[in-house]
Amino acid sequence: MQVNTSNISFVSSGTADAEAAMASLRAQYGEAGFDNATAIVALGGDGLMLQTLHRTMGRNIPVYGMNFGSVGFLMNDFNTEDLTTRLAEAKPTHIYPLSMQVVCEDGTEHSALALNEVSLFRMTYQAIKVEIIVDGNTRLTELTCDGVLLATPAGSTAYNLSAHGPILPIDSPLLALTPISPFRPRRWRGAILPNEAIVTFRTRETDKRPTSAVADNVEFQRVKEVTVREDRSRRVTLLFDPGTGLDERVLSEQFRY
């Protein structure tokens, strides 16, 4: 993929350091504006990167991040020199989102997209009870837990990893289904599913055990049923410096201790 560097737009997380860096880069390379950009440079952390990728969803505009956050798993190192060369030599990684369809207790229906994961969480001190259905077949009649999530390969190193879910290679046609603090069945640790799978979560005893559903940072409360599938009709593109791509980072993460 050859990146068109003629129209670059810069976005910032808003911290003092990121704002100063953005001002310096705009002075050197100009500012095309987000709507006219052929490439976006995001200055911040992984949270800003996710927000920016959602803004570019379906527009085929690559995003190159430079780290001003705490982790920066999705970012490159900051450097003001030779930005156009770095963009031209950057390696692309494509990510397909999860589509979440929600039916709430009041009958309202909602939808959202997730690049990392779709999660269900308990809203009170009570654990939730969830039936898990894969491609129309009930695979788990009742999971009692604090929550459960379905993660993309890109999201498998985020909350999914913290919940002891598996790390998936970035280009694998797989999804990670992972419980969060499961109580019953106690020994169930989740599943690895093909990316064509359609996963439905049905909540139980909703008055006593209210549940929220979250797609990245979009939340709906008191959900009754949540259906999740990968959306291959949309994608986003991240850019990484050669040798530091997301595939290498995901692989390296599996050997950390």
Together in a domain, 73 and 127:
no
- Residue 58 has what pLDDT? 83
Together in a domain, 104 and 221:
yes
Q: Is 146 helix (H, G, I), strand (E, B) or coil?
A: strand
Query: Is the pLDDT assigned to residue 29 strictly greater than 90?
Result: yes
Record the pTM. Answer: 0.89
**205: domain CATH number?**
2.60.200.30
Q: What is the average pLDDT across 210-228?
A: 97
Look up 46 and say whether it is catalytic.
Answer: yes
Find the catalytic residue in 17, 35, 46, 146.
46
DSSP string, 44-90: E-HHHHHHHHHHTTTS---EEEEE-SS--TT-BPP--TTHHHHHHHP
**Mean of per-residue pLDDT scores for the chain:** 93
Supply the range of the domain harboring residue 204.
98-230
Cβ proximity of 78 and 66 under 8 Å: yes
- Residue 255 has what pLDDT? 79
Q: Using CA atoms, how far apart are residues 94 and 109, in angstroms rounded to an integer?
A: 29
pLDDT, tens digit, for every residue of 59-107? 889 999 999 988 788 899 998 889 999 999 999 999 999 999 999 999 9
- Residue 256 has what pLDDT? 74
- Cβ neighbours of residue 103 closer than 8 Å, sequence gap 6 or more: 109, 223, 224, 225, 226
- Cβ neighbours of residue 209 closer than 8 Å, sequence gap 6 or more: 122, 124, 126, 127, 128, 129, 203
Together in a domain, 108 and 226:
yes
Together in a domain, 225 and 104:
yes
Nearest alpha-carbon partner for 251 in 165, 160, 171: 171
- Residue 247 has what pLDDT? 77
Q: How far is the first Cα of the chain from the last one, in angstroms, to the nearest whole number?
A: 35
**88: domain CATH number?**
3.40.50.10330
Main-chain dihedrals φ then ψ at residue 208, nearest 5 degrees: -85, -30
Together in a domain, 170 and 219:
yes
Cβ proximity of 179 and 163 under 8 Å: yes
- Residue 257 has what pLDDT? 67
Domain annotation covers residue 92: yes
Together in a domain, 144 and 222:
yes
Amino acid letter, 38: T
Element (H, E) at 252: helix 246-253
- Number of structural domains (the chain) is 2
Question: Cα dist. 121→158, 213, 253 in Å?
Answer: 16, 6, 26
Cβ proximity of 185 and 64 under 8 Å: no
Cβ proximity of 40 and 11 under 8 Å: yes
Using pLDDT thresholds of 50, 70 and 90, give the confidence band for residue 1. low
Together in a domain, 83 and 194:
no
Together in a domain, 61 and 122:
no
Together in a domain, 198 and 240:
no
Together in a domain, 18 and 36:
yes
Paired residues of 128 in beta bridges? 145
Together in a domain, 152 and 248:
no
pLDDT, tens digit, for every residue of 230-247? 999 999 999 999 887 777
Domain annotation covers residue 1: no
Domain annotation covers residue 2: no
pLDDT, tens digit, for every residue of 152-196? 999 998 999 999 999 998 889 999 999 999 999 988 999 999 999
Q: What is the average pLDDT across 48-58?
A: 93
